[in-house]
């Protein structure tokens, strides 16, 4: 009898162990003991989405609304976490290095660098996911974006389907243009701004008319190999493709000297080189800045800022590697839910309701609807949900603003098709042989670029100091390696 009881107890234990093993084996698809699949409306998974921009107080509220929709559609909820413009690169670098799991992150040529992080294995190689769950992306995103996003033939992020080329404009606060009767069409170069800046400064003594912060860049007539280094090819060099140090070029020195002159005359705020972003855009106390444009950008800017702006062209539109990779969404290599993340990106780029909810916020609170394809922003959007639209997904399914023409997206398509290709389009530098030097050069860039570009220091003194430090940190070695790879790439193009 005792033996029988012992046998029964052993059998019971074996059954329990087997049951636990089976439960464990299914743990990646089912909640233990629930019997329900994860990633369904009943059992949604939460996706962590890191995005760039000034953190907004209404993000959680809008993402709750987003989650109500995505939960039913694809079994996911969304938690967006924002890091400010100046903090994003460093904070995402720490997250990637630590292996902290997240699902989706903004990446680009200028923040949380797309190419280097792809090569380091920070991002999920997504070609199979794209084939399986991203069919709408493949139909809707411009082929040049998808092709340009490939690193060594593989896809690690989905580009935002927006304007393909980059073109800088001089953007003006219309209030002061009208008040001082300024001829903005006379402004073609950085130097042409002088009489307008002088006039507004004289009339508005407490105002710094040229809005600039540590991210500021004037128009650079070079195709840079790496946005963080002063190495590039002149935009007019379409044959030889000779890499030069742009800091040593006369046209750049002229612009640096102009900015320093403007700084000394009080046209640029004193702390521009260290300012993350100023409050002048909210207060309207500025005359001009130099952002990248897109068709009908004046309308978008005016709606977002809450007061009218007007712009005139500064540089010509070119398609660069960094404009193709200027705004993208990657899936983390450490994501627990890469399939669901791709399903969400596919929906974000194809579902009109979702894309506009993420962009515009909540109807009746952040915007009011004019008709099926037109909305008008309300003050609460500027105050609580002013996300940078270019970081959020496919433009071509967005609602229009009241001032937008009916053929807005058709004009975008024409803009994309009419741009010139920059000389280095399609060339991606492999930095494996100069990793140490690149890290050192990045530190030199951080030391000098903001001060030089904002005019905060005398370029006649500081350019030579910067060049000396760049060379000491290995610039010549990196330049030679770049030229070798570029020559090899050029040979394949012939």
Residue 3 has pLDDT above 70, yes or no: no
Neighbours of 15 (CB within 10 A): 10
* Mean pLDDT, range 194-220, rounded to an integer: 96
Determine, yes or no, domain membership for 451: no
- CATH number at 145 reads 3.40.190.10
Query: Is the alpha carbon torsion for 269, 270, 272, 276 positive or negative?
Result: negative
Determine, yes or no, domain membership for 410: yes
Residue 93 belongs to what domain range?
A: 45-163+323-414
Q: Which residues contact 112 (CB under 8 A, 6 or more apart)?
A: 52, 88, 89, 92, 93, 96, 105, 106
* R_g over Cα of the chain: 26
Express as a percent the part of the chain with pLDDT over 90.
Answer: 79
Determine, yes or no, domain membership for 401: yes
Distance CA(453)–CA(59), nearest Å, equals: 33
Q: pLDDT of 284-309, one tens digit each?
A: 999 999 999 988 899 889 988 999 99
Quickly state the pLDDT bin for 143 (edges 50, 70, 90). confident
Q: What is the pLDDT of residue 24?
A: 37
Tokens read off for 254: 């002229």
Determine, yes or no, domain membership for 298: no
> Which CA distances in Å does 424 have to 150, 284, 322, 481?
15, 38, 10, 15
Determine, yes or no, domain membership for 153: yes
Q: Which residues contact 192 (CB under 8 A, 6 or more apart)?
A: 186
Structural contact between residues 225 and 246, judged by C-beta atoms closer than 8 angstroms: no
Q: Is 402 helix (H, G, I), strand (E, B) or coil?
A: coil
Determine, yes or no, domain membership for 210: no
Indicate the number of domains in the chain: 1
Higher pLDDT, 121 or 18: 121
Angle between helix 435-453 and helix 250-264 axes, rounded to 10 deg: 50
Determine, yes or no, domain membership for 275: no
Structural contact between residues 398 and 408, judged by C-beta atoms closer than 8 angstroms: no
Q: Is 350 helix (H, G, I), strand (E, B) or coil?
A: coil
Rounded to the nearest 5 degrees, what angle is found at the Cα of 421, between the Cα atoms of 481 and 243? 25
Determine, yes or no, domain membership for 486: no
pTM for the predicted model, two decimal places: 0.72
Residue 361 has pLDDT above 70, yes or no: yes
Distance CA(360)–CA(362), nearest Å, equals: 7
Residue 32 has pLDDT above 60, yes or no: no
- For residue 383, the number of C-alpha atoms closer than 13 Å in the C-beta half-sphere is 6
Q: What is the pLDDT of residue 417?
A: 82
Q: What is the pLDDT of residue 67?
A: 98
Report the candidate in 370, 364, 323, 329 with the shortest Cα–Cα distance to residue 347: 329
Q: Is 128 helix (H, G, I), strand (E, B) or coil?
A: helix
Q: pLDDT of 237-284, one tens digit each?
A: 999 999 999 999 999 999 999 999 999 999 999 999 999 876 899 999
């Amino acid at each position: 009898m005792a033996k029988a009881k012992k046998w029964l107890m052993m059998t019971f234990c074996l059954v329990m162990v087997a049951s636990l093993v089976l439960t464990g084996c299914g743990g990646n698809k089912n909640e233990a003991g629930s019997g329900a699949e994860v990633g369904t409306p009943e059992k949604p998974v939460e996706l962590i989405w890191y995005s760039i921009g000034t953190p907004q107080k209404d993000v959680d509220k809008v993402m709750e609304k987003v989650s109500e929709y995505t939960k039913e559609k694809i079994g996911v909820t969304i938690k967006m976490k924002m890091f400010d413009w100046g903090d994003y690169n460093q904070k995402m670098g720490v997250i990637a290095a630590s292996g902290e799991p997240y699902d989706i992150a903004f990446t680009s040529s200028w923040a949380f660098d797309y190419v280097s992080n792809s090569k380091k294995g920070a991002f999920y190689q997504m070609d199979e996911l794209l084939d399986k769950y991203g069919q709408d992306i493949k139909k809707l995103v411009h082929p040049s974006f998808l092709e340009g996003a490939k690193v060594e033939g593989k896809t690690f992020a989905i580009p935002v389907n927006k304007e393909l080329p980059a073109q800088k404009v001089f953007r003006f606060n219309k209030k002061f243009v009208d008040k001082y009767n300024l001829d903005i069409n006379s402004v073609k170069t950085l130097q042409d701004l002088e009489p307008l800046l002088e006039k507004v400064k004289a009339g508005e003594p407490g105002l710094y008319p040229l809005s600039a912060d540590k991210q500021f860049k004037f128009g650079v007539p070079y195709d840079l190999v790496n946005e963080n280094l002063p190495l590039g090819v002149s935009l007019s060099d379409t044959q030889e493709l000779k890499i030069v140090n742009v800091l040593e070029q006369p046209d750049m020195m002229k612009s640096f000297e102009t900015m320093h002159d403007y700084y000394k005359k009080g046209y640029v705020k004193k702390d521009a080189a260290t300012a993350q972003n100023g409050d002048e855009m909210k207060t309207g106390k500025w005359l001009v800045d130099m952002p990248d444009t897109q068709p009908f950008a004046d309308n978008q800017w005016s709606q977002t800022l809450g007061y009218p702006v007007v712009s005139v062209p500064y540089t010509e539109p070119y398609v660069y590697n960094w404009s193709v990779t200027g705004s993208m969404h990657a899936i983390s290599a450490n994501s627990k839910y890469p399939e669901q993340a791709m399903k969400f990106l596919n929906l974000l780029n194809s579902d009109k309701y979702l894309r506009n909810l993420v962009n515009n916020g909540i109807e009746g609170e952040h915007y009011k609807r004019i008709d099926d394809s037109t909305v008008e922003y309300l003050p609460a959007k500027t105050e609580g949900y002013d996300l940078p639209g270019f970081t959020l997904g496919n433009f071509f399914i967005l609602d229009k603003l009241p001032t937008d023409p009916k053929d807005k997206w058709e004009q975008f398509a024409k803009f994309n098709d009419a741009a010139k290709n920059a000389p280095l389009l399609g060339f991606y530098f492999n930095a494996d042989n100069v990793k140490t030097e690149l890290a050192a050069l990045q530190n030199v860039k951080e030391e000098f670029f903001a001060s030089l570009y904002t005019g905060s220091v005398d370029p006649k003194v500081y350019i030579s100091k910067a060049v000396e430090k760049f060379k000491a940190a290995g610039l010549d070695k990196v330049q030679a390696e770049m030229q070798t790879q570029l020559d090899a790439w050029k040979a394949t193009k012939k």
